[in-house]
Chain A
Amino acid sequence: MASLTLDALTKRYGDNVVVKSVSLDVRDGEFLVLLGPSGCGKTTTLRMIAGFVPPSGGSMRIGDKDITTLPPWKRNAGLVFQSYALFPHMTVNENVGFGLDMRKVDRAEITGRVAEALRLVRLEGYGERYPRQLSGGQQQRVALARALVIRPDVLLLDEPLSNLDAKLRLEVRLEIRALQQQLGLTTVMVTHDQEEALTMADRLVVMSDGAVRQVGTQSDLYERPADLFVADFVGRSTMISGAVTAPGAFRSDGGLSLSCQPSAAAGPATIALRPERLTLGAAAQGLANHATGKVTFVSYLGALLDVHVRLNDTDHVVVQIPNRSDGHVPAVGDTIEVGWPASACLVFPREAA
């Protein structure tokens, strides 16, 4: 195990820059998740770390060793693919033992370490089977065992859960996380699924258009998003556009006067609101911001309700409230009071178009 450092890593295809000078520090034993929409450069970044894509600029180090120009087979990186990529013509034992075989480890030791790796992923007794005789979840665990058994310096996970069904995904997610912590593996995972990212990561990297937007913990990203993109991509936000007119004062395009944190700079801006920070009904009265609106849509999510409220012709918000059996459930068409504290307003200066 070792730390992984990316320094101004860049990938260009002709004039098209798909990864723009990405610098990251993955600490020893840390689980870092690259999160972003498709085409944001996260997979290309991972493939550069694995050695399949030669960078156009910048460098990479594992510990103190420069790996920028090292071919994949000399990097000692354990890789798990979305498609599992097990060798279909080899048994589970042969699959898991492949990396050790390449390292010229002797037979007896291979047998022992393969058994140990299969025990870790709870697949003892499956060694003689072929991949096609296993379920998707089992294949995924074999792929994981195969990547772990070589004692990699870094573990790279490329959307490892995308091919699993929803219920299994939750299980495997926790399993991978537990294993990663138990073994202290320096891990980089790529995903577009933010829930997956939030549950598994020590730190997250939000990418878009090939660039890093923000690096931080779950609460950093959620409570203090660096920009509108992160606010929109991590969790959900409803946006109100307008302008900061004076310190702590915001006027929406729809004419609402709102108070926000005084630190926001004057000028055109957008406010992002987390749905769960808003309050409905009488309780809204006492808050710094409140307005009256009409319920346009209610979606029933089981434990929670999403209530869409139109405040005026241009402004509308989504309010998430717990679904309590004794509570009043708003209905479409109701006129209702909405309120939120000034601290709930995340203010972002409008980006120059």
Chain B
Amino acid sequence: MAAVSSRPVGEPGNLTAAGLLVPATIFVAIGLMVPIAILFRYSLNAFVPGQLMVDALTIDNYVKFFTDPFYLQVLWRTVRVAVACTVFCLLFGFPLAYVLARTQSPYKNLLVMAIVLPLFVGNAVRAAGWMVAFGSKGFVNSTLMGMGVISQPIEIMYTEMAVVIGIIAVNLPFMVLTLQSVIEGIDRNVEEAAFSLGAPPMTMATRVLFPLALPGILAGVILTFILAMNAYATPVLLGGPKFQTMGPLVFSTFAQQNNWPFGGAVSFILMTATLILTIASSLLIRRRYA
């Protein structure tokens, strides 16, 4: 062999390296892979009312999901909300991240704190705040009505828009921080070189800045998309009982209907949809800018 390690296998250095991997490996195996495997097995079981879960090997649960317009509607709504949230996070997040990365201000750390601060407020607390603000007698409507701008309260609560706004507010910091760290790694002189060669700002951005920020754009998109697909508190509190998305559906199937096999199937469909769409969007972005 040409490339033999200078240290024989089994020397202390290798053992240490292997040893360092053990805790994380065990954690991932026991904490993640095993439950998912069990869940997948459950999703192939049958559900008999009164008896709950019955051992079986059937795809009935998946068939039930994909043949019932109600469930398909839930999946489609979830994807729609997640895509909208991700697109808006990227659109709002990129300029913000760019300014944050390039600022010479001595208050930069404060600005970063201001971005992170919303994360200190839990999702449920934040959503409760939105409820107060956007209710039909809430702050926004009463102000607008008081000013005479509107005569009827605007319906914001319990709409898709409320959920989208709510999730964007939660996810934006993740997008901004991810993009910021990547943009900071791009040499400012590269942008100036493009300008001096005759590229106006938008051309510079599409030809130089975006391609170089691609790893950050991908990471940010993946992160916010996954978070949006799996959002729980925000759709429940801001969407109301009729606004079903996949996250809350998983919970109610397990906890309220006690239908573990179907719950397992819904979980797997959510996981798979997230994975497929993430890969698809990565390929799309890569092809556009690489």
> Residues of A at under 8 Å CB distance from B?
50-52, 71-79, 81, 83, 85-89, 98-99, 102-103, 143, 146-147, 150, 156
Checking A50, A78, A85, A143 against B187 with a beta-carbon cut-off of 8 angstroms, the contacting residue is A85
The answer to whether A150 and B198 have CB atoms under 8 Å apart is yes
Q: Does B212 contact A (CB under 8 A)?
A: yes
Q: Does B194 contact A (CB under 8 A)?
A: yes
Report the Cα distance A33→B189, complex, angstroms.
21
The answer to whether B194 and A98 have CB atoms under 8 Å apart is yes
Checking A81, A83, A99 against B198 with a beta-carbon cut-off of 8 angstroms, the contacting residue is A99
The answer to whether A103 and B195 have CB atoms under 8 Å apart is no
Checking A77, A86, A103 against B196 with a beta-carbon cut-off of 8 angstroms, the contacting residue is A77
The answer to whether A81 and B192 have CB atoms under 8 Å apart is yes
Checking B193, B198, B203, B207 against A85 with a beta-carbon cut-off of 8 angstroms, the contacting residue is B193
Render B233-269 as a binary contact track against A, CB cut-off 8 A, 1 for contact.
Answer: 0000000000000000000000000000000000000
The answer to whether B212 and A72 have CB atoms under 8 Å apart is no
Residue of A at shortest CB range from B191? A85
The answer to whether A75 and B196 have CB atoms under 8 Å apart is yes
Query: Residue among B189, B192, B193, B207 with the most chain A CB within 10 A?
Result: B193
Checking A85, A89, A99 against B192 with a beta-carbon cut-off of 8 angstroms, the contacting residue is A85
The answer to whether B187 and A89 have CB atoms under 8 Å apart is no
The answer to whether B212 and A89 have CB atoms under 8 Å apart is yes
Checking A51, A52, A83, A99 against B197 with a beta-carbon cut-off of 8 angstroms, the contacting residue is A99
Report the Cα distance A75→B192, complex, angstroms.
13
Report the Cα distance A98→B194, complex, angstroms.
8
Interface size range on B against A: 10 to 19
Report the Cα distance A77→B189, complex, angstroms.
15
The answer to whether B198 and A103 have CB atoms under 8 Å apart is yes
Given contacts A73-B196, A87-B190, 20 further A-B contacts (CB under 8 A): A50-B196, A52-B192, A52-B195, A72-B195, A72-B196, A73-B197, A73-B198, A73-B199, A78-B196, A85-B189, A85-B193, A86-B193, A87-B193, A89-B290, A99-B197, A99-B198, A102-B197, A102-B198, A103-B198, A146-B193
Residue numbers in A under 8 Å from B211 (CB-CB): 89
Render B91-112 as a binary contact track against A, CB cut-off 8 A, 1 for contact.
Answer: 0000000000000000000000
> Residues of B at under 8 Å CB distance from A?
187, 189-190, 192-200, 203, 207-208, 211-212, 290
The answer to whether A87 and B194 have CB atoms under 8 Å apart is yes
Residue numbers in A under 8 Å from B189 (CB-CB): 81, 83, 85
Residue numbers in B under 8 Å from A50 (CB-CB): 192, 196
Of the A-B pairs whose beta carbons lie under 8 Å apart in the complex, a sample of 25, sorted by A's number, is A50-B192, A50-B196, A52-B195, A72-B192, A73-B199, A73-B200, A76-B198, A79-B192, A81-B189, A85-B189, A86-B193, A87-B190, A87-B212, A88-B212, A89-B212, A89-B290, A98-B194, A98-B207, A99-B198, A102-B198, A102-B199, A102-B203, A103-B198, A147-B196, A156-B196
Report the Cα distance A134→B71, complex, angstroms.
56
Query: Residue among B190, B197, B211 with the most chain A CB within 10 A?
Result: B197
Residue numbers in A under 8 Å from B192 (CB-CB): 50, 52, 72, 79, 81, 85
Report the Cα distance A143→B192, complex, angstroms.
13
Residue numbers in A under 8 Å from B290 (CB-CB): 89
| Nearest 5 pairs of A and B residues by beta carbon | A102-B198, A99-B197, A85-B189, A79-B196, A72-B195
How near does chain B come to A79, taking the closest CB pair, in angstroms? 4
Report the Cα distance A52→B193, complex, angstroms.
10
The answer to whether A98 and B190 have CB atoms under 8 Å apart is no
Report the Cα distance A72→B192, complex, angstroms.
8
Taking A81-B192, A102-B203 as contacts, is the C-beta distance between A146 and B187 under 8 angstroms?
Answer: no
Checking B195, B198, B208 against A87 with a beta-carbon cut-off of 8 angstroms, the contacting residue is B208
Report the Cα distance A150→B193, complex, angstroms.
13
